[in-house]
Structure 1
Amino acid sequence: MKIAFRSDIGRIRLVNEDRAWAQNQDNGCAVAIVADGMGGHLAGEVASQLAVDTFRESLNGKELTALSLEERRSLVHSAILQANEVVYDMASRNDQYHNMGTTVVAVIAGQESGVIGHIGDSRVYIWSKGSFEQLTEDHTLVNELAKHGQISQEEAANHPRRNVLTRALGTDEQVEVDLIGFDWAPDDLLLLCSDGLSTMVSDDEMSAVLERDERDLEAKAEQLVELALQAGGDDNITVVLLHHAGNTEQEG
């Protein structure tokens, strides 16, 4: 598998509160995580860094290819719950971190299938054979309103409260983690991103970048970030791409 990663502070924010990590593991498994922090002065970047570090440490020493799909689901679930505990504990013990939290979207991808763990509005998309699909569902107030028919999808995209989360990691002692399974095949692409990409760049624009054969993975990640910047760069922008290309070296 090939991996590319880009993060940019954007044009408005003074601090990049996004954090990400991605790596090829043993025998063709890949792992990736994106976290978009929130909170007061510096608290957002603390929350997202703690979440990524805790998730990464939870996977240390695990032989991922030896695990069944159900065991991978359990591992992603427990790693994210551990991250929630760490962030919540830090926020509870330090006034300057009060109420800090983060989104999280994490993937363990094998050769034929994978598992996503998800809290918040960072997303995972899959590009496969020309189709582009969002695999995660945003945990936002606006998405709840749209799901129940109270506002249209067009209204949701431009709603003034579209960034209000209904669920985040670290803000409560207990949290529910969405677990999503997916199948993929050679030449498929996974895109993990913070909302700094998905609120600024349309699905059609993202899909068009991913399907261009002339661009390597690094160039595709760079182009996605550039599109978000050209659209205004209102937020931090983070992109992780996983390309199902067999047992290949990591690109970025």
Structure 2
Amino acid sequence: MSTQKTRWAWTAFGQTDRGLVRPTNQDTYLVENRHRLWAVADGMGGHPGGDVASRLVMDSLAELAPTLEGTATAPGRDAEEHATSRLTTMAEQAHASVLAHAAQHPSLHGMGTTLVMAHLLPLPKPRLLVLNVGDSRAYLVRAGTLTQLTRDHTLIDEYVRDGRLTPAQAARRPNRHVLTRAMGLAPHLERDLFVFDLLDGDLLLLCSDGLTKMLTDERVLQTVRPHQHLPSLATQALIQTALDAGGIDNVTVVACTITEIPDQTNIH
């Protein structure tokens, strides 16, 4: 657990499982509590080097995490702008590392990975920055509700947003996981970045689609509700529930709780 003089504490836990069908695990995750950075990457199945791509991205983020130093000490709006710039640069550098590795190893041409990453700014009113590429998701559990914070970058999701398919029709499509964006595919990175206010007791979830293929949002909420304040148990319960439902893909979950602490905790 880490604390700041801003009176907020955070506890995070990550876990990954190969699942019951896939021969290898192409998922990776990062829990970097010191710099308040958490991430999940899911290598593209059916492509060469998906596991290499996801590992390159996660290693790059881990190496760059110290560059987030100071994002929480900048005043007000400057902190958010600085953190947004740093997260974007980190993702672009991770993307470049995948492209460079593929260029050096022709057998890995076309490798790619999803990415969802989150960075906490423990300001007087804490804020969460979430960047995503692909269909790995971020969720927020608050007061008995589950909210998806990210948008999937898939062909089917674009059809839903354009009104060409209803969500019910999309759920039945066999190609609903075809990606329109991924780390390492295009010369330039396209990503979304969202900013959210956090409250005491919030639970952040980052996951690969090995979870969301197996569990509806309602089932995810039902599974984590007893473990709202215990991220290690929430993570373990979600992965086990996905395995019990069939475990057709690698499944990875990172959970993080945000807690307000009394002022006197920071008095020395």
- Taking structure 2 as the reference length, the TM-score comes to 0.86
Partner amino acid, structure 2, of 1:205: R
What are the equivalent positions in structure 2 for 1:214-233 lying under 5 Å apart?
Answer: 216-233=230-247
CA distance in 2, matches of 1:207, 1:49: 29
Counterpart of 2:24 (choices 4, 15, 23) is 15
> Per-residue displacement from partner, 1:153-209 (whole Å, max 9, x unpaired)?
112123111110000000121111211001111110000000000111111111122
Are 1:69 and 2:80 an aligned pair? yes
What are the equivalent positions in structure 2 for 1:240-251 lying under 5 Å apart?
Answer: 240-246=254-260
What are the equivalent positions in structure 2 for 1:137-156 lying under 5 Å apart?
Answer: 137-156=151-170
User: Does the residue aligned with 2:135 lie in a helix, a strand or coil?
Assistant: coil
Counterpart residue number, 2:3: none
Counterpart residue number, 1:250: none
Counterpart of 1:110 (choices 121, 132, 144) is 121
CA distance in 1, matches of 2:114, 2:228: 33
CA distance in 1, matches of 2:227, 2:254: 18
> Per-residue displacement from partner, 1:46-76 (whole Å, max 9, x unpaired)?
1001001111212225233224011111111
Counterpart residue number, 1:78: 89
> Per-residue displacement from partner, 1:80-105 (whole Å, max 9, x unpaired)?
00011110111122112110000001
User: Does the residue aligned with 1:102 lie in a helix, a strand or coil?
Assistant: coil
How much is the aligned-residue C-alpha RMSD, in angstroms?
A: 1.7
User: Does the residue aligned with 2:72 lie in a helix, a strand or coil?
Assistant: helix
Structure 1 stretch 110-119 or stretch 78-87: which is displaced more?
110-119
Structure 1 stretch 64-73 or stretch 235-244: which is displaced more?
64-73
- Residue 124 to residue 41, structure 1, CA distance change in 2 (3 Å): closer
User: Does the residue aligned with 1:101 lie in a helix, a strand or coil?
Assistant: coil
**Number of residues of Structure 1 aligned to a counterpart in Structure 2:** 244
Are 1:181 and 2:195 an aligned pair? yes
Structure 2 stretches of 5 or more lacking a match? 1-9, 262-268
Structure 1 stretch 213-222 or stretch 15-24: which is displaced more?
213-222
Structure 1 stretch 72-81 or stretch 204-213: which is displaced more?
204-213
Contact between 2:230 and 2:257, CA under 8 Å: does it hold in 1? no
Contact between 2:112 and 2:182, CA under 8 Å: does it hold in 1? yes
Counterpart residue number, 2:59: 53
CA distance in 2, matches of 1:229, 1:176: 32
What are the equivalent positions in structure 2 for 1:21-60 lying under 5 Å apart?
Answer: 21-25=30-34, 30-38=36-44, 43-60=49-66
> Whose Rg is larger?
2
- Taking structure 1 as the reference length, the TM-score comes to 0.92
What are the equivalent positions in structure 2 for 1:165-176 lying under 5 Å apart?
Answer: 165-176=179-190
TM superposition shift of 1:223:
0.9
- Residue 214 to residue 190, structure 1, CA distance change in 2 (3 Å): closer
Structure 1 stretches of 5 or more lacking a match? 248-252
Are 1:89 and 2:95 an aligned pair? no
Partner amino acid, structure 2, of 1:35: A
